[in-house]
């Protein structure tokens, strides 16, 4: 999932450099959402590992 966030981030940067404002904004928004979901899943995974005692 982090890979997809990074891919959309790169797409947003390339689109911004080329001047495609709408596409860059959309790709950046998608990258932010996916990265946020990744962070939530990371925290949940860490908490579950602590609860299990591993």
The pLDDT tens digits of the residues spanning 2-51 come to: 677 778 778 888 877 777 777 777 888 888 888 888 888 888 888 888 89
pLDDT, residue 42, reads: 85
Confirm whether pTM is higher than 0.85.
no
pLDDT, residue 11, reads: 82
Q: Are 27 and 7 in contact (CB under 8 A)?
A: no
Record the tokens describing residue 42, joined without a space: 């990371």
Domain range list for the chain = 2-52
Query: In which band, very low, low, confident or very high, does the pLDDT at 54 lie, cut at 50, 70 and 90?
Result: low
Q: Are 9 and 33 in contact (CB under 8 A)?
A: no
Query: In which band, very low, low, confident or very high, does the pLDDT at 1 lie, cut at 50, 70 and 90?
Result: low
């Amino acid at each position: 999932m982090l890979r997809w966030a990074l891919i959309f981030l790169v797409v947003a940067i390339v689109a911004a450099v080329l001047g495609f404002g709408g596409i860059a904004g959309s790709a950046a928004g998608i990258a932010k959402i996916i990265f946020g979901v990744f962070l939530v899943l990371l925290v949940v995974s860490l908490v579950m590992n602590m609860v299990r005692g591993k």
